[in-house]
Amino acid sequence: SAETAMLPAWDAVEGAERARELFATTFGGEAEGVWSAPGRVNIVGEHTDYNGGLALPIALPHRTYVAVARRSDRRLRLVSSAADGVAEVDLDAVGPVGTAGEVTGWPSYVAGVAWALEQEGLASGLPGLDVAVVSCVPTGSGLSSSAALSCSVAVAWDELAGLGLAGPADDPSDAGRADLVTACVRAENEIAGAPTGGMDQAAALRAREGDALLLDCRDGSVEHVPLDLAEAALELLVVDTRAEHSHAGGEYGQRRATCEAAAKVLGVPDLRTVAEAHVHSQDTLDHVLPRLADDEQRKRVRHVVTEIDRVEYVVARLRDSSRAPLHGATLENIAWALDASHNSLRDDYEVSCRELDLAVDAARGSWAHAARMTGGGFGGSAIALVDTRHLDEVTAAVAKAFADADLRAPAFLRAVAAAPAGRTA
Ligand code: ADP
Ligand code: MG
């Protein structure tokens, strides 16, 4: 039925065609090339990035495509199928939010990349660009359309200005890509004014097709963990609740501040350090929680410590399963950890909301092995681990739960571990 239709991911040919067509009709002439970057979904490890912790995202098959041509000046002309009109930006006038150089709206995600590359000393005197943006990543759904945009532009500039950071498609440079991540994070934080911890940009630039990305947010190191769900006849179903609660930004800031305050009380640089103090997280909690200032700090710290533990646990189980398909006890253990992650985010970190809990409960009440919210919370998306043969029943159950609750119909995506940012055509 229409309600349960999956949001399709364009293939490279379709994405490139759409981008080139928008370029031609807007600017006339031909683009020099098309670059693209994926959205991402996090399997486990939520609100751990700013605590120096671990996260486990995959790149989505849903991507943002940019058709780009260099200009002979330092101007940007930008068009997106998701926005009206053509935006113009002078690269020499760009500055951080709150200064005279502030760039408003979506062009800040593009202009910010050039600004940050130059601030970081990774580039100087970058050329202006004409850019046409098309995307099949849902926007504002916690699937990181913002990093898909900034990272697609970053790899375009990298190649067109000969920076050599991303490396060739058949031999990507992880060190150079880590530099591009730094620039894209600064673009979002300082020019777009969006608080973001770095997981989104790392997934878009450093993930590998067929693998989940184990990201260590303390030192920025990554490992690639094979994730072959198809082999086990499993699906990672993404439910975009289409809910967005306006207080999300303030709550995010409060959670970060509480974690920082707790780390200070404990005399550690970050909560990751606490999580590592003992082999078993229960021992850690027994030692640490009584020393904290209040119940709020205790709940937040309990989430972060146990969530980091769950990332390590899931990664260990996935590595077990690289020798045999994901099933039986291994699958049950992963499912247990994903369910526990949601419960911790709902009860201890208190960042879930009605729509996310409804999606999770409906999926679990149907055939899902596990379900959890993903991303920062207060709206956005949930994920469910589902046998392929039960996919339709689970999407129908979630859609029905939303209809019964008089909520806007959710959207559904199938997530598989896809390729990182690069040149498409
Ligand atoms: P998310 O990254 O979870 O999708 P954000 O609020 O971080 O949500 O980013 C969404 C913003 O990114 C949009 O409001 C817009 O400014 C910008 N953006 C993302 N994709 C596009 C696009 N295809 N065209 C124009 N702007 C986009
Ligand atoms: Mg974003």
ipTM of this predicted structure = 0.99
Distance CA 181, CA 159 (A): 15
The string of DSSP letters for 368-404 reads -SEEEEESSSSEEEEEEEEEGGGHHHHHHHHHHHHHH
39 Cα: distance to centroid of ligand 1 (angstroms)? 10
pLDDT at 321 over 90: no
Considering every ligand atom, which ligand is closest to the CA of 81? 1
Q: What does the pLDDT read at residue 277?
A: 86
pLDDT at 3 over 60: no
Neighbour tally for 254: CB within 10 Å: 13
Burial class (CB in 10 A: 0-12, 13-18, 19+), 94: buried
Burial class (CB in 10 A: 0-12, 13-18, 19+), 325: middle
Average pLDDT estimate for 57-82: 98
Residue 412 β-bridge partners? 6, 239
Q: What is the pLDDT of residues 352-376, one digit of tens each?
A: 999 999 999 999 999 999 999 999 9
Q: What is the pLDDT of residues 128-139, one digit of tens each?
A: 999 999 999 999
pLDDT at 387 over 80: yes
Q: Confidence class of residue 326 from pLDDT cuts 50, 70 and 90?
A: confident
Return the ligand 1 atom nearest residue 105 CA.
Answer: 16
286: annotated active-site residue? no
Distance CA 236, CA 212 (A): 12
Q: Is the pTM of this model over 0.90?
A: yes
pLDDT at 2 over 50: no
Q: Confidence class of residue 315 from pLDDT cuts 50, 70 and 90?
A: very high
Whether 135 lines ligand 1, by a CB cut-off of 6 Å, is yes
Q: What does the pLDDT read at residue 5?
A: 79
Size of the chain, expressed as the number of residues it contains: 425
Q: What does the pLDDT read at residue 320?
A: 84
Q: What does the pLDDT read at residue 197?
A: 83
Considering every ligand atom, which ligand is closest to the CA of 244? 1
Which residue's CA is minimally distant from atom 7 of ligand 1?
146
Distance CA 402, CA 360 (A): 11
pLDDT at 58 over 70: yes
Average pLDDT estimate for 57-71: 98
Pocket probe for ligand 1: among 106, 110, 184, 201, the residue whose CB has the most ligand atoms within 8 Å is 106
269 within 8 A of 13, measured Cβ to Cβ: no
Structure tokens at 253: 């800031």
Q: What does the pLDDT read at residue 361?
A: 98
| Arithmetic mean of pLDDT over the chain | 95
Average pLDDT estimate for 54-60: 98
> Which residue type, as a one-letter code, is found at position 343?
N
Q: What is the pLDDT of residues 131-181, one digit of tens each?
A: 999 999 999 999 999 999 999 999 999 999 999 999 988 899 999 999 999
Helix then strand then coil, in percent of the chain rounded to 5, is 45, 20, 35
Q: Tell me what percent of the residues of the chain surpass a pLDDT of 90.
A: 92
Considering every ligand atom, which ligand is closest to the CA of 64? 1
Whether 412 lines ligand 1, by a CB cut-off of 6 Å, is no
Whether 111 lines ligand 1, by a CB cut-off of 6 Å, is no
DSSP 320: H
Q: What does the pLDDT read at residue 264?
A: 97
Q: What does the pLDDT read at residue 68?
A: 99
Average pLDDT estimate for 170-196: 95
Distance CA 258, CA 140 (A): 25
The secondary element (H helix, E strand) that includes residue 202 is: helix 199-206
Which residue's CA is minimally distant from atom 18 of ligand 1?
146
Average pLDDT estimate for 213-240: 96
pLDDT at 4 over 80: no
Q: Pick the catalytic residue: 49, 158, 179, 200?
A: 200
Average pLDDT estimate for 234-256: 92
pLDDT at 65 over 80: yes
pLDDT at 1 over 70: no
Backbone angles phi, psi at 30, to 5 degrees: -115, 145
The secondary element (H helix, E strand) that includes residue 61 is: strand 57-70
Average pLDDT estimate for 386-407: 98
